[in-house]
Amino acid sequence: MPGKHAERQIGLPRYSFVVAAATLLVILVAWVAVRMVGPDERRTPILVVPSTSPTAPAGQPPPG
pTM score above 0.85: no
pLDDT at 28: 97
- Mean pLDDT for each consecutive 10-residue tract of the chain (64 residues)? 65 83 96 83 74 68 62
pLDDT at 54: 66
Establish if 30 belongs to a structural domain: yes
Establish if 2 belongs to a structural domain: no
Q: In whole angstroms, how far apart are CA 16 and each of 21, 28, 29, 33, 62?
A: 9, 18, 20, 26, 74
pLDDT at 37: 84
Instruction: Indicate the number of domains in the chain.
Output: 1
Establish if 63 belongs to a structural domain: no
Q: Which of 13, 9, 32 is nearest to 21 (CA)?
A: 13
Establish if 54 belongs to a structural domain: no
Establish if 33 belongs to a structural domain: yes
For the chain, state the CA radius of gyration.
33
Domain containing 26: what range? 12-38
Establish if 43 belongs to a structural domain: no
CA angle 53, 45, 47 (to 5 degrees): 20
pLDDT at 45: 72
pLDDT at 40: 65
pLDDT at 46: 75
